[in-house]
Structure 1
């Protein structure tokens, strides 16, 4: 995940720790000009912005950000976490509001939730050949037939589908399946892959196989 952190001086260290743990890229521009340049040239999955409602410019940065990030979810970190300021932030385009003292785990959950909610708002169905996943209902269909998967296997397939045929490393899959404070053995991914492949036999015949990329990770084959 690629994160843009604006005016995040007080919480930047927490975001950087999160980025290091999850292998997310966290970029913190030093000025408004650099912020605007990054928004034009780079693709960010989510934007964090710190807001001090008592400052002269207050919510001004959020107002300008709303129009510059029409295709990115915004998470507002509020210095004064009260109902009035949350309502104001939501009105101006923030998807999620957090208090200034939010923990690293809360920052992580907010980022993941914002990306998923944003994807749902745009399109809740993910397709890849014979495979169709509905994130809203948590259902998976292969050739129109409903396939039931345990939660971890469902999340694994979700991550592979979202990658659109690109390689997903074992570490990236671990980060998608487990929370910040969980530390499973990376080999558990191979176990989940093996179990999921057993359910994907029909999809594999139609070009929807889970492909092992030795030394790199896995990807979902894209039908021609």
Structure 2
């Protein structure tokens, strides 16, 4: 999934970014609250990890602006402010969860998974589409019960397609969700990952269809 980390302490941001990228997510980073606010006005994310003490625009003001324009993107607040009054204030402003620093990244990851599940209306880390079973906690995939080895980017692509079977995803949307802003991929990169994933899913009852000029969708194979 595509995640925005808004944190002005570089070493903390690096830990979060490295952790999320290691498990296959595309991550952007902003250290300035005003820059993050402007970015969120033009870019879509699946999750925002937000510090409260920021230059330019503090985290609470950014959160208020986000919710004020009707943006329901899940927000996980990470902050050193541990007081109950502050937690209540931030949750009332629209934060979806709150974690006090210092933290263990495993808890950040678990809370992020929970928020992403909630946003998608899902109750567990398991994502099943036909005979394709994805365990998002273990970062593993099985096709008809047989393990399939995927790279982190292939797994990310499969998660996107399998979460909305039948929906058509354009190349531009997949490009945005698979790569961060500091990468410079082309549409050819999307085509290459689709081709690789299609080969690895060949034994499945599902297929990745190409709709010329529109994009890709995950659907059952004819007669499947």
TM-score (norm 1): 0.57
SS of equivalent residue, structure 1 residue 71: coil
Q: Give the drift of 1:156.
A: 4.1
Query: Do the aligned partners of residues 115 and 31 (structure 1) sit closer, same or farther apart at CA in structure 2, a change above 3 Å counting?
Result: same
Q: Kindly indicate whether residue 126 of structure 2 is the aligned counterpart of residue 155 of structure 1.
A: yes
Q: Partner of 2:190 in structure 1?
A: none
Q: TM-score, normalised by structure 2?
A: 0.57
- Asked if residue 73 in structure 1 is aligned to residue 74 in structure 2, the reply is yes
Partner of 2:64: 63
Q: Could you list the runs of 5+ residues in structure 1 that have no partner in the other structure?
A: 121-134, 139-153, 162-167, 180-185, 197-206
CA distance in 2, matches of 1:23, 1:58: 26
Partner of 1:93: 94
Please give the alpha-carbon distance, in whole angstroms, between the structure 2 residues aligned to 1:195 and 1:82.
47
Higher relative contact order (CA 8 A, sep 6+): 2
Matched, 1:111 2:112: yes
- Give the paired residue count: 157
Equivalent residues of 1:8, 1:28 under 8 A apart: no
> What secondary structure is seen at the aligned counterpart in 2 of 1:28?
strand
Contact 2:52/2:58 (<8 A) preserved: no
Aligned-CA RMSD value: 3.7
Q: Deviations over 1:165-190 (max 9, x none)?
A: xxx9x9xx46x1417xxxxxx6xx3x
Q: Which structure: larger Rg?
A: 1
Gaps of at least 5 residues in structure 2 are: 147-164, 167-196, 208-217
Among 204, 219, 222, the residue aligned to 1:222 = 219
Shift of 1:69: 6.4
C-alpha separation in 1, matches of 2:52 and 2:127: 35
